[in-house]
Amino acid sequence: MRFDIDEIRGLFPVLHQEVHGRPLIYFDNAATTQKPKAVIDSLLNYYEHDNSNIHRGAHALADRATRYYEETREAIRDFINAKESAEVIFTKGTTESINLVAKTFGNRFIGKDDEILISTMEHHSNIVPWQMLCEEKGAHLKVIPITEEGEIIWDEFEKLLSPKTKLVSIVHASNALGTINPVEKIIEAAHAVGAKVLLDGAQSTSHLDIDVQNLDCDFFAFSAHKLYGPTGLGVLYGKRELLEAIPPFLGGGEMIKEVTFEKTTYNEIPFKFEAGTPNIADVIAFKEALVFINSLGKAHIKKHEDELLAHANELTKHIKGFIPVGTASEKVSVLSFNINGMHPFDVGQMLDARGIAVRTGHHCTQPLMNRFGIEGTVRASFAVYNTKSEIENLAEGIARIARIKNK
Ligand code: PMP
């Protein structure tokens, strides 16, 4: 598909509505993206024609559902360039993917006085599971500090790395600031001390090309709903040898080879990690989201989003009272800011009155907000279907709101 913004917008039914009497401007894409009609149609089609449980049926519908389900796994393998589809595990989302690693890899490979490294800009879902693990195991959580601009401080990272480091778990692109972390370098340095690396790809997959073999990360976690797919579905990629070396996460149907009351043997990967009936419909529909992204190409998507962010930066930088939060040199399309003298929530409500949907608050990154000494920010995050004129509308809204307290 050629990159025609009107054509792209035409694929997203939800965008064509008014909010408070104004055309909707949806800038809450880092929370969740909208879904193209092909994804919505696929969900409907599945329930109307194919609904069946997978992997165990002897009938046509079960066969079909299984085939479609596994086709999505293969599409994801291709999307992140994993070596084999067995390395792609379906979960409920990034949160569950990270918890899976904490409970399995963590249980087997992290012990007393081992260290886990994260950064100051982590989402709570890449903090809390490690705190829980450290408490259980007597391990230690170490935090890489960041600069005023919102970039990790490399020297400090190197100082924290040691043979005690068993895992570096870091966000690829920050949801609150937009910072893209230098993950290639981080992975290389972590591997040099024998540590494994988990990348939280919740915010990077929709904007950046992901090649897990090239990156050489050990685990990669992301959510379908942040890249134009359905909610309640996520992915954990892991290298085969690691997935084989760690114990299962949940016990139940599908994840077993053989069960007796005395002993259970486990299924091959990825099924070892997919206990119970999975989220079949959403998995099948997710493939359409990947088809949509691939049809445009990540490079074109990134270029468009970079232009939107540059336009937003340009239009807001001279607004009196406008305080950007997160000014890293490498960013995905996130504009996080405050307005001098105003609470972020109030700003969000005023923008909402203009039909502009943004997120306000700590964005599940409270320690990051503490680092900047703020309670929260207003976050406008852009996606492939956003336009320059929407950015102009946002900038005008911000300017009017800022004028209230910054005459
Ligand atoms: N990490 C980051 C960077 C995120 O932005 C999010 C979602 N806001 C998550 C993890 C958690 O994703 P989910 O809620 O889909 O599990």
Query: Is there a catalytic annotation at residue 364?
Result: yes
372 CA to centre of own chain:
23
Following DSSP, what letter does each residue of 3-39 receive, concatenated? --HHHHHHT-GGGS-EETTEE-EE-BTTT-----HHH
Tokens of 248: 């299962």
Mean pLDDT of 24-28: 98
Q: Which amino acid is at 364?
A: C
Nearest alpha-carbon partner for 334 in 304, 303, 312, 301: 312
Catalogue all structural domains in the chain, each as residue range(s) with its CATH number: 5-30+297-402 (3.90.1150.10), 41-294 (3.40.640.10)
pLDDT digits (tens, 9 = 90+) for 107-144: 999 999 999 999 999 999 999 999 999 999 999 999 99
Distance 264 CA to ligand 1 centre (A): 34
Q: Which residue has the tokens 């079909």?
A: 64
344 and 361 in contact (C-beta within 8 Å)? yes
Nearest alpha-carbon partner for 115 in 219, 181, 190: 190
Backbone angles phi, psi at 251, to 5 degrees: -100, 145
Mean pLDDT of 267-276: 96
Evaluate if pTM is beyond 0.95: yes
Distance 176 CA to ligand 1 centre (A): 11
3-state secondary structure 37-58: HHHHHHHHHHHHHHCCCCCCCC
Backbone angles phi, psi at 332, to 5 degrees: -85, 175
Q: Which atom of ligand 1 is nearest to the CA of 175?
A: 5
pLDDT at residue 140 in the model: 98
Q: Which residue has the tokens 């100051």?
A: 120
Q: What is the rounded CA–CA span in Å between residue 156 and residue 324?
A: 25
Within 10 Å of residue 333's Cβ, how many Cβ atoms?
Answer: 27
How much helix, strand and coil, in percent to the nearest 5, is found in the chain? 45, 20, 35
Distance 122 CA to ligand 1 centre (A): 10
pLDDT digits (tens, 9 = 90+) for 374-396: 999 999 999 999 999 999 999 99
Helices (H), 81-182: 94-109, 128-137, 154-160
Of 174, 203, 222, 331, the one to substitute when testing ligand 1's pocket (max ligand atoms within 8 A of C-beta) is 203
Q: Which atom of ligand 1 is nearest to the CA of 92?
A: 16
Query: Above 90 in pLDDT, residue 56?
Result: no
Q: What angle do CA 80, 167, 97 make, to 5 degrees?
A: 45
pLDDT digits (tens, 9 = 90+) for 196-245: 999 999 999 999 999 999 999 999 999 999 999 999 999 999 999 999 99
Within 10 Å of residue 303's Cβ, how many Cβ atoms?
Answer: 12
Q: What is the largest CA-CA distance in the chain?
A: 76
Dihedral, CA of residue 92, residue 96, residue 101 and residue 106, to nearest 10 = -150
41 CA to centre of own chain:
24
pLDDT digits (tens, 9 = 90+) for 328-372: 999 999 999 999 999 999 999 999 999 999 999 999 999 999 999
What separation in angstroms does the CA of 253 have from each of 173, 249, 272, 278?
35, 12, 10, 11
302 and 381 in contact (C-beta within 8 Å)? no
